[in-house]
Amino acid sequence: MDWKLVATTFVAIFIAELGDKTQLATMALSGSASSKWSVFLGASLGLIATTALGVLVGEAVTRAVPPEWINRAAGVLFIAIGAWTLIKS
């Protein structure tokens, strides 16, 4: 197990998920739910499922597309989304 990769992934995802719509939806659900643990379990399973899908799709894509091109495309998309957000606001 590559613990440096585990730590890097954890930090990146943790920071990216703070204040996003998933966290806001979880807060809203837990505010009106009688069982906070049910909300925690459901949200955790949902995040695990989407992460598993991302890993599987990422693995499949890297078989056809070199990883450096995926990194470049992701960078361009992040810049484009940021620019669009700035222009829109």
What pLDDT was estimated at residue 32?
87
- pLDDT > 90? residue 79: yes
Q: Which two tokens stand for residue 55?
A: 């890993």
What pLDDT was estimated at residue 49?
96
In angstroms, rounded to a whole number, what is the distance separating the alpha carbons of residues 2 and 36?
Answer: 33
**CB contact at 8 A, 26 and 43:** yes
The pTM of this model reads: 0.68
